[in-house]
Amino acid sequence: MTLATIRSLQNGTMFCWIILLATCSAMAAPSSCNLRLVKNTIVANCMAQGHLTIPDISLSTEVILLSFNNITYLKESSFPPLGCAKTLTLGMQLAGKLYIGESAFRRLGNLTFLDVGGNKHLMLHDKAFAGLGKLEVLLLDHSDLKDGVLQNSYFEDLLSLKKLDLTGNQIQMACVGRLEGCLTKGLVPVRVKGTEWARWETRQEAGGEHRTLSK
Ligand X SMILES: *[C@@H]1O[C@H](CO)[C@@H](O)[C@H](O)[C@H]1NC(C)=O
Binding site for ligand X (CB under 6 A): 50, 52, 70, 83, 94-95, 109-110
Report in angstroms how near the CB of residue 57 gets to ligand X at its nearest.
14
Scored b (16 or more CB within 10 A) or e, 125-143 reads bebbbbbbeebbbbbbbbb
Report in angstroms how near the CB of residue 196 gets to ligand X at its nearest.
27
- DSSP-assigned beta bridge partners for residue 204: 209
**Closer residue to ligand X (CB): 14 or 111:** 111
**Closer residue to ligand X (CB): 159 or 183:** 159
**Closer residue to ligand X (CB): 10 or 103:** 103
Report in angstroms how near the CB of residue 93 gets to ligand X at its nearest.
8
**Closer residue to ligand X (CB): 52 or 179:** 52
CA-nearest of 168, 206, 202 to 186 is 202
Report in angstroms how near the CB of residue 133 gets to ligand X at its nearest.
9
